[in-house]
Amino acid sequence: MGKLFERFPDPLARLIVVVVAMVALGAFAYFVLIPKPVKDIEFQWADAVKTEKARPVRYAGFQVCEECHGEIHNTKKTGYHKDLSCETCHGPAKAHSENPDKVKPNIPTARTFCPQCHAYNPSRPRGFPQINPVAHNPLKPCSSCHNPHDPKPPTTPKECSACHGEIARMKAVSHHVQLECTTCHQAPQQHKVSPRSVKPTKPQAREFCGKCHGKDATDKLAKNAPKVDLGEHGEKYVCWQCHYPHSPEVEQ
């Protein structure tokens, strides 16, 4: 061995000595210094399983939700959110399933929740509903306009958007996104043939907007609408003379 080393150049001989020394130190550390449980994969696996089993069970599973909320389940299972588990939005429901009167499930109302999936992101598939959370109806929780168990994107009829595309795009991000064009306008059939000579109607009375925005409004759409006292607000003017109805954003 000594004669063999004598044949090697000095740098190579030193390198071999260093490598042999490092291998010897590594073997000493592995076989002597490191405890056996640390090297035993089965031991580590069993310890991890034991740790996970000790954690409290927090999720109930959608089958448990269905037992009490069958009607909602039937609504959701055919909609756009059919692949979402109930606990995706409502959080862990194990405690609620065991004591439904005392423990209520979480109902997400923050504007930051739904945009986790629906905020515009160019990497998402084409056709996936995406919005700008800042510009899209920013004052209300998403669930005030969209039924989260059966969300259906509102659309403007093609016969309206064909000529009024700019209005349709504006209304799509406003508080009036859920209103059909015909909620406020009656368009005679002749309007499609002679749009400049035959105009659609406009609300001519303050009471029309008051059905949702009057302080005593009872219309089903009035639940989350801003309310005013029609007797004092705006005096003699029709509402759309001051508020642009296709984008009626109001600072609050």
Separation between Cα atoms, residue 177 and residue 97, nearest integer Å: 36
Which residue from 178, 167, 168 is spatially nearest to 225, judged by alpha carbons?
A: 178
- Rounded to two decimals, what is the model's pTM? 0.55
Q: Which residues contact 21 (CB under 8 A, 6 or more apart)?
A: none
pLDDT digits (tens, 9 = 90+) for 88-145: 999 999 999 999 999 999 999 888 899 999 988 888 887 788 888 877 776 678 887 7
What integer pLDDT is reported at residue 196 of this predicted model?
87
Using an 8 Å Cβ cutoff, are 76 and 89 in contact? no
pLDDT digits (tens, 9 = 90+) for 161-206: 888 988 888 887 777 877 888 889 998 989 988 888 999 999 999 8
Which residue from 57, 52, 54 is spatially nearest to 94, judged by alpha carbons?
A: 57
